[in-house]
Amino acid sequence: MKLIEDLELIHEPFEKAVITLGNFDGVHKGHLALLNTTIEKAHEIHGTSVAITFEPHPIRVLDNGSHPPLITIYEQKLELLERTGIDVLLSIPFTREFADMEPNDFIEDLLVKRLGMKAIVVGNDYSFGKKRQGNIDLLRAYGDKLGFEIIIPQWITAPDGDDRISSTRIRDMIKSGDVKTVPELLGRHYQLRGKVVSGRDRGGKLLGFPTANINLRDELSPETGVYAVTVKCRFGLFKGVANIGYSPTFDDHLFTVEVHILDFNHDIYNQDIRVNLIEKLRDEKKFSGISELSEQIRKDIEKARLILEPFA
């Protein structure tokens, strides 16, 4: 995948560009349907598959910093998009000036003249340009005029059939702690990323269960509680139990993510790790003391081992 983060670096149109556009927060199954259709169409016409996204997320610019937390930080979004096999990812710096581009200029000057678009793949509610005045009807009008095809794949609906898959719905599921169901919409387990930092030095010494304390880089944190997880670090993939929240037994009111990695004896201090949330085990609870908390952690580990049996 060729990553382009500046429009000025594009000096000539792509060969028969097939384009899809979106914020792609989460790169979920609905996004993958658009991306896969784009790739297939590009293969069909011997062209170039191009995904266009925006950084930062447009709502951050247009709503003066008021925005929901992202499912995927920019770094992870790039990784996930690269895995799709798209030829080119154009990440456009989103500014108020860009947001004010007239819809017809967006189509004619950017998509067709600069990028060489021969087909565009979008959802049936796609809107664009200044005040989101551009829509599918305008695309069709310009498609007839300028000779490009508009492709609108069917919505990918959730397994329960209630609604289409969306970043908003996935975000709400994660925030409510329903991480077990998330893969049905996201296509993978929700992942937290962060660097292992110094904790409060009580996991191993006080409780008998050493933990990796993570300084999160992600914006979206699930509901507080205890989770069965898998942990990816430079030593491989391991099983674990994560406590996400405020450790009410200790009354220090500090939000932390602490992961006890099962059957693990390596030094990962100051290293980046990735924590995949498999299933919520229980809510946070204030225990009477260290002994009762330690016993509950043992039970959490036993339950997590059963849940994580399918994971190597």
Is 254 inside a domain boundary?
yes
Considering the candidates 15, 258, 292, 295, report the single residue annotated as catalytic. 258
Residues 206 and 290 in one domain: yes
Q: What is the CATH number of the domain that holds 292?
A: 2.40.30.30
Residues 129 and 223 in one domain: no
- Strand, helix or coil at 134? strand
Consecutive sets of 10 residues in the chain, 312 residues long: mean pLDDT of each?
Answer: 96 97 96 97 98 91 79 95 98 93 96 98 91 92 95 86 85 96 96 86 58 88 96 96 83 83 92 97 86 91 96 76
Q: Give the pLDDT score at 312.
A: 65
The DSSP result for 233-292, as a single string, is: ETTEEEEEEEEEE--GGGT----EEEEEETT-----TT-EEEEEEEEEEE-----SSHHH
Find, among 170, 222, 178, 132, the residue nearest to 30 by Cα: 170
Is 180 inside a domain boundary?
no
Specify the DSSP element, H or E, that contains 19.
strand 17-21
Where in the sequence is the domain holding 116, given as residue range(s)? 2-151
Q: Give the pLDDT score at 210.
A: 86
Residues 117 and 7 in one domain: yes
Q: What is the CATH number of the domain that holds 133?
A: 3.40.50.620
Is 52 inside a domain boundary?
yes
Q: Give the pLDDT score at 201.
A: 56
Instruction: Determine whether 258 is an active site residue.
Output: yes
Residues 6 and 140 in one domain: yes
Q: Give the pLDDT score at 161.
A: 67
Q: Give the pLDDT score at 205.
A: 47
- Residue 235 to residue 216: CA distance in whole angstroms: 20
Q: Give the pLDDT score at 204.
A: 45
Residues 142 and 204 in one domain: no
